[in-house]
């Protein structure tokens, strides 16, 4: 039975690098090991700068480090793209509407297949 990805794989990446939570906190400028622990447990969401610091530290895209969270966000964007497609269709055909529909269909289709 396939399982859903975790919201965050921070702990796995930290352990692969053999860094302590305190060392990671220092490297990303997070202050304390407790802050890193809260990120790892999903009790606190990192800011964009902090998420990018994790990417720089672990040399792994943010979307992979936070893959479960990314999947949820991607699905939400796809759902809203489908809603906007319906709205744009009712506005009538124009060159800009055609381009917009093409872009929106791409966004909606990217997450049309549920994650395993």
Quote the pLDDT of residue 5.
84
More confidently predicted of 58 and 96: 58
28, pLDDT greater than 60? yes
Mean per-residue pLDDT for 45-57?
97
Q: How far is CA 4 from CA 43, 46, 70, 75, in A?
A: 19, 21, 12, 14
Give this prediction's pTM: 0.82
Contact 108, 80 (CB under 8 A): no
Task: Give dist(CA 46, CA 25) in Å, integer.
Answer: 12
What average pLDDT is seen over the chain? 91
pLDDT (tens digit, 9 = 90+) per residue, 80-112? 999 999 999 988 888 999 999 999 999 999 865
């Amino acid at each position: 039975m396939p399982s859903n990805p975790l919201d965050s794989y921070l702990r796995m990446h930290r352990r692969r690098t053999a860094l302590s939570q305190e060392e990671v906190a220092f490297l990303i400028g997070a202050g304390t090991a407790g802050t890193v622990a809260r990120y790892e447990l999903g009790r606190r969401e990192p800011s964009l700068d902090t998420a990018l610091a994790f990417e720089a530290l672990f040399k792994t895209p943010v979307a992979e480090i936070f893959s479960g969270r990314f999947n949820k966000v991607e699905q939400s964007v796809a759902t809203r793209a489908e809603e906007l497609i319906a709205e744009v269709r009712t506005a009538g055909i124009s060159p800009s509407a055609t381009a917009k529909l093409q872009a929106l269909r791409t966004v909606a289709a990217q997450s049309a297949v549920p994650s395993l």
